[in-house]
A and B are shown apart, each in its own frame.
Chain A
Amino acid sequence: MFLIALIVLLLVVPQILPRGQLFFWQRVLIFAVYAMSVALLVGFTGLISFGQAAYFGIGAYTIGLLLPLKLAAPITVVLAIIAGAVVALIVGAIILRASGLAFGMLTLAFGQALYQLTFVFKDITGGENGIPGILRGTVLGINLGNPVTYWYFGLFWLALGVGFLALVHASPFGHTLRVIRDDPKRAGFLGIPVFRYQLGSYVIAGAIGALAGALYALLAGIVTQDMLYWTLSGDPLIMSLIGGLRTFWGPAAGAVLFIWVQDQLARQTGAWILYQGLTFLVFVLFLPEGLASLPRRYQLWRARRQARAEAAPKRAPA
């Protein structure tokens, strides 16, 4: 029911919303899927990565670097996904030898190293200027330069990404990831080669992170260094925490709220980061399991109120 409503809503959005707002909401969608990919790693595999911006950036820079070849957009998106997966496979095979905080630090180091590389190879990455003038081109006679057609183009790819994540979650592989998250050492005593599963999860997260980055570069029309910057690794973590780290849709809900609040605050005040931080603080303190726990909390609250209402009349005669 929820899923059908969501799909319908996403399909009609371009017909309802003014074109000026499509950019904003497509950005929200892209970050929602990015956050979901990070949550697969952090919430469902127990690998705390502080460097997923590396894959978002790899996706974006793949689009930028392939620009001179004038390939069709779907091909560049596929190549971006492959680039994310291949880099994740190689990097993951090395840094997953470490665990816990050491792994987290290595992900951060790798992310920042990639960021620095954009300065070193200024000639092809554009350094601080980035790579402007990204064109979406035409696919099968459809002009993707149009915000409405690009909305549907993006939706198609994001749906593929979310569908794949959903399959992973519902599959034996996802089940095994949760077992590893709960106790990786014990998982080894089930005959599970933990390292390979963690690597698999890391590759999937990297591939989908790269997909998000590629779609974002095509949306923005420019590739910039902040698509690789470490704050972009932190944002999806915060989104996931706000929404519910160990739930499937929670991180997406968190992304919606996070970016919307950010946008509203940025219109009002230059100190928006302060208020964003305070919002995050409120969530961690008062809703530690995130937005996804709200329906259950509401049910509990109602059940308790009902119980109180039933208990009250009994007391009256006595």
Chain B
Amino acid sequence: MSLPLLRLAGISKRYPGVQALTDVSLDVPAGQLRAVIGPNGAGKSTLFGVISGEYPPEAGVVELDGKNITGWPPWKCVRLGMARAFQVAKVFPRMTVYDNVLAAVMARDGTSWQFWRLTSRVPGRKRVDGLLAETGLLSLAETPAAVLSQGDRKRLEIAIALALEPRLLLLDEPTAGMSPEETHATVELIRQLWRERGLTVMLTEHDMGVVFALAEEITVLHRGRILCTGSPEEIRGRQDVREVYLGDIEL
């Protein structure tokens, strides 16, 4: 068995007055599509924050491809092969869709800091068009990101993340705020990207339809602890998972 791409061991994180994560350990093998679910406040976004370097944990170790990255700032984690799309889409509002993706492409290529050449002649521009086509944003290329719909903004998040050519892609509620049609298209997009690019994907999601349509394995978080990890069938059959969700979700 090969090394897991992502390994968390004994992660604990607290905010003032709240223990957000307690002794969280999990392995995500390379190439897997893993979903993390749990009720509101279970610690899903905090977990993503810890993995991507946004919140350094009080205890525990984060390893990416066998390398200890605990406490690394986000930009270093990204350079090692991680990319994250946010729950509330955070794009660069005063820039166009194209310029948003271009910024990510240049960051990935390591050309961001070049001040002696023109942006209009950067070789990475070709890739931007490809990424916009792949995520269905080509017609919106010249639109300022600030005026995008929530769904388009989430797709721009994905395009930015893909521009970074990650090995590990973290998607925090990729379909939140989307219409059923948009949700369906996004599920297909994620599945396609995951297959074609050999990515390791980790996602959180409230929409159980999305989770069970995509995930190979599911980890259930409850009150900052891991309740269980298993295949969709196993998770579906577990009584304790139902109880966590107070039975208000049809699994």
Check A186/B115 contact, CB under 8 A, given A172-B122, A175-B106.
no
The reply to whether the CB of B94 lies closer than 8 angstroms to some CB of chain A is yes
Interface residues of A in 184-199 (CB under 8 A from B): 185-194, 196-197
Given contacts A190-B160, A191-B164, contact A175 B102 (CB under 8 A): yes
* Residues 75 to 122 of chain B near chain A (Cβ within 8 Å): 75-76, 78-79, 83-84, 86, 90-95, 99-100, 102-104, 106-108, 111-120, 122
Of B90, B94, B99, the residue contacting A175 (CB under 8 A) is B99
Q: What sequence of 0s and 1s flags, for each residue 103-144 of chain B, a beta carbon within 8 Å of any chain A beta carbon? A: 110111001111111111010000000000000000000000
Q: Does B73 contact A (CB under 8 A)?
A: yes
> For residue B78, which residues in chain A have a CB less than 8 angstroms away from its CB?
188-191
CB of B74 closer than 8 Å to a CB of A: yes
Interface string of A147-176 (1 = CB under 8 A from B): 000000000000000000001101111111
Asked if residues B118 and A191 are in contact (CB atoms below 8 Å), the reply is: no
Interface membership of A91, Cβ < 8 A: no
CA distance A230 to B211 in the complex (A): 58
Tell me, yes or no, whether A179 is within 8 Å of chain B by CB.
yes
Give the number of residue pairs across the A-B interface with Cβ within 8 Å: 97
Chain B window 167-206, contacts with chain A (Cβ cutoff 8 Å), 1 for yes, 0 for no: 0000000000000000000000000000000000000000
Report B-chain residues with C-beta under 8 Å of the C-beta of A168. 115
Query: Which chain A residues lie closer than 8 Å to B117 at the CB level?
Result: 171-172
Cβ A174 vs Cβ B119 within 8 A = yes
A220-255 Cβ-contact flags toward B at 8 Å (1 or 0): 000000000000000000000000001000000000
What is the number of residues of chain A that contact chain B, defined by CB distance less than 8 Å?
28
Question: At the interface, yes or no: A183 with Cβ under 8 Å from chain B?
Answer: yes
Q: Could you tell me if A190 and B115 are in contact, using CB atoms closer than 8 angstroms?
A: no
A178 in the interface (beta carbon within 8 A): yes
B32: interface (CB < 8 Å):
no
Contact A174 B115 (CB under 8 A): yes
B73 touches A171 (CB 8 A): no
* Chain B proximity of A196: nearest CB distance (Å): 8
Contacts of A186 in B (CB 8 A): 86, 90-92
Closest to B92 in A: A182
Closest to B104 in A: A190
Assess whether B107 is in contact with A191, with CB atoms less than 8 Å apart: yes
Least CB distance, A11 to chain B, in whole angstroms: 26
Q: Which residues of chain A have C-beta atoms less than 8 A from B119's C-beta?
A: 170-172, 174-175
Given A171-B118, A175-B102, answer yes or no on A197-B90 (Cβ-Cβ < 8 Å). Answer: no
How far, in angstroms, from A194 to B78 measured CA to CA in the complex? 13
- The secondary structure that dominates the A interface is helix
Residue among B74, B103, B116, B164 making CB contact with A179, cutoff 8 Å:
B103
Kindly list chain A residues whose C-beta atoms are within 8 Å of the C-beta of B92: 178-179, 182-183, 186-187
- Shortest CB distance B104–A (Å): 5
Tell me if B46 is interfacial: C-beta within 8 Å of chain A: no
Contacts of B70 in A (CB 8 A): none
Task: Let me know if A200 is at the binding interface, CB within 8 A.
Answer: yes
A200 to B52, CA, bound (A): 26
Q: How far is the CA of A178 from the CA of B74 in the complex (A)?
A: 19
Please judge, given known A-B contacts A179-B92, A190-B103, A194-B75, whether A171 and B114 are in contact too, CB under 8 Å: yes
Q: How far is the CA of A46 from the CA of B92 in the complex (A)?
A: 13
- Report the minimal beta-carbon distance from A2 to chain B, rounded to whole angstroms: 19
Residues of A within 8 A of B103 (CB): 175-176, 179, 187, 190
CB distance from A204 to the nearest CB of B (A): 8
The one of A179, A193, A246 in contact with B75, judged by C-beta atoms closer than 8 angstroms, is A193
Q: Is the CB of A190 within 8 A of B116?
A: no
Contacts of B100 in A (CB 8 A): 179
- For A174, the chain B residues whose CB sits under 8 A away are 115, 119
Given that A189-B78, A191-B164 are contacting pairs, would A172 and B95 also be in contact in the complex, using a CB cutoff of 8 Å? no
Which B residues are closer than 8 A to A by beta carbons? 52, 73-76, 78-79, 83-84, 86, 90-95, 99-100, 102-104, 106-108, 111-120, 122, 160, 164
The 8 nearest A-B residue pairs measured at CB: A191-B78, A173-B115, A182-B92, A188-B74, A190-B107, A176-B112, A179-B103, A171-B115
Between-chain CB contacts (< 8 Å), 24 pairs:
A167-B115, A170-B118, A171-B115, A171-B116, A171-B119, A172-B112, A172-B114, A173-B114, A173-B115, A175-B102, A176-B107, A176-B113, A182-B92, A182-B93, A183-B90, A186-B92, A187-B92, A189-B52, A189-B84, A190-B78, A190-B164, A192-B75, A193-B75, A197-B112
Other 9 A-B pairs with CB < 8 A, given A179-B92, A181-B94 = A171-B116, A172-B119, A173-B113, A173-B115, A175-B112, A179-B100, A186-B91, A189-B52, A190-B160
